[in-house]
């Protein structure tokens, strides 16, 4: 039986405006072009997992949408990538989630999410979908659905024998009971600093070692700090590994972290050792930043394999 991944999380329609510079508080800036893309951290991870897994990994999504045109569009985008959306249910209580994204000339962004139906995904809904988890290998979570639901779903995934990967985004304080259910926590540097109550700063791989160690002591089995163009730093309670990034030209960093998590889950579900999984995830994320849009930027397996060829430098123990 092929390995499978379950994603519990959000689906959003992304409204993206390109600007020269992100607006400061109280400032009006003129944008250039406007585009709509299927997004949402959960859906992005599901879509990228399906594209990267190809025919060898099954992907199922659990989430909530409204009864509207965006819901149809988002489900169609996932289905086209090969994601099973039979556990994405509609609610009449709210509209489908949306995200407003300003994208600057350097490819950096600023995002505001109106959660809508994503906020209606209850712990009881996930419990009712317990059969979806059976036989799967990895479960992916983010924080765009209610925290209580995430905690209950993490526990349920463990009960069903899955390994859990939590992307703590958007960042918020996390209870110890929730962190104890996490096998791999994958903050970016900002989220890592926030979770540890440290002031914001650019983080070097050396400094990321301290962040990963501090976070691992809060409960997760392992921590991978995503460092953007500096790659990532992993700590499993025994050793630190730094895996460098691939040099690419940046067009849009939206969903790079989601694509990284998808690459990590696909490689691990296929049985790759951690070093290779980190490299694979870095390659997938690197390709995603070279083009615009969230799900639209997720690479195919063939593209990642091509970037990999001749660049098999392993993660370094530090």
Q: Residue 308: exposed, middle, or buried by beta-carbon count in 10 A (0-12, 13-18, 19+)?
A: middle
H or E stretch covering 301: helix 301-308
Verify binding: residue 119, ligand RIB, rule CB under 6 A.
Answer: no
Q: Which of 39, 116, 119, 244 binds ligand RIB (CB under 6 A)?
A: 39
Site residues for ligand RIB, 123-182, by CB under 6 A, read 144
- ω before 170 within 30° of 0 (cis)? yes
CA distances from 158 to 133, 147, 209, 296 (A): 10, 17, 27, 31
| DSSP letter assigned to residue 22 | P
Task: Point out which span in 64-72, 127-135, 228-236, 250-258 binds ligand RIB (CB under 6 A).
Answer: 250-258
Verify binding: residue 254, ligand RIB, rule CB under 6 A.
Answer: yes
The CA distance from 42 to 205, in Å, is 27
Q: Which of 4, 44, 77, 288 binds ligand RIB (CB under 6 A)?
A: 44
Verify binding: residue 111, ligand RIB, rule CB under 6 A.
Answer: yes
Backbone angles phi, psi at 22, to 5 degrees: -65, 140
Catalytic positions, written as ranges:
258
117 vs 156, which CB is nearer to ligand RIB? 117
Residue 231: both structure tokens together: 């790659």
Question: 118 near 143, Cβ under 8 Å?
Answer: no
Q: How many CB atoms lie within 10 A of CB 124?
A: 10
40 vs 58, which CB is nearer to ligand RIB? 40
183 vs 258, which CB is nearer to ligand RIB? 258
Number of residues that bind ligand RIB (CB under 6 A): 15
99 vs 195, which CB is nearer to ligand RIB? 99
Site residues for ligand RIB, 278-317, by CB under 6 A, read 294
Question: 71 near 10, Cβ under 8 Å?
Answer: no
Task: Point out which span in 7-15, 81-89, 228-236, 276-284 binds ligand RIB (CB under 6 A).
Answer: 7-15
Q: Which of 75, 141, 258, 277 binds ligand RIB (CB under 6 A)?
A: 258
193 vs 296, which CB is nearer to ligand RIB? 296
The CA distance from 184 to 281, in Å, is 14
Which ranges of 58-195 would DSSP assign to H, the alpha helix?
Answer: 69-81, 123-128, 130-133, 147-159, 176-179, 189-195
Site string for ligand RIB, 72-101 (x = CB under 6 A): ---------------------------x--
Residues that bind ligand RIB (CB under 6 A): 10, 12, 14, 39-41, 44, 99, 111, 113, 144, 254-255, 258, 294
């Amino acid at each position: 039986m092929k390995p499978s991944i379950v994603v519990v999380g959000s689906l959003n329609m992304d409204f993206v405006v390109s600007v020269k510079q992100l607006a400061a508080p109280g400032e009006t800036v003129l944008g250039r072009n406007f585009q709509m893309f299927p997004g949402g951290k959960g859906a992005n991870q599901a879509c990228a997992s399906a594209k990267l897994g190809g025919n060898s990994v099954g992907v199922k999504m659990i989430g909530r949408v409204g009864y509207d045109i965006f819901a149809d569009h988002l489900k169609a985008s996932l289905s086209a990538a090969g994601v099973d959306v039979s556990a994405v249910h509609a609610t009449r209580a709210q509209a489908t989630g949306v995200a407003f994204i300003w994208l600057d000339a350097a490819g950096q962004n600023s995002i505001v999410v109106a959660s809508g139906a994503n906020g209606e995904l209850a712990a009881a809904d996930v419990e009712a979908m317990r059969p979806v988890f059976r036989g799967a290998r990895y479960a992916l979570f983010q924080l765009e659905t209610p925290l209580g639901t995430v905690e209950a779903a993490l526990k349920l995934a463990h009960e069903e024998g899955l390994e859990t990967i939590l992307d703590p985004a958007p960042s918020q304080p996390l209870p110890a009971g929730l962190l104890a259910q996490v096998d791999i926590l994958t903050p970016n540097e900002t989220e890592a600093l926030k979770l540890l109550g440290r002031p914001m700063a650019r983080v070097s791989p050396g400094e990321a070692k301290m962040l990963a160690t501090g976070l691992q002591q809060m409960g997760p089995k392992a921590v991978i700090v995503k460092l953007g163009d500096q790659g990532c730093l992993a700590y499993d309670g025994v050793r630190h590994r730094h895996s460098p990034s691939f040099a690419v030209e940046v067009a849009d960093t939206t969903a790079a972290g989601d694509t990284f998590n998808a690459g990590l889950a696909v490689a691990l579900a296929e049985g790759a050792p951690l070093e290779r999984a980190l490299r694979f995830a870095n390659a997938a994320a690197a390709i995603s930043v070279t083009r615009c849009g969230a799900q639209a930027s997720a690479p195919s397996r063939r593209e990642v394999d091509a970037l990999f060829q001749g660049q098999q430098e392993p993660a370094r123990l530090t």
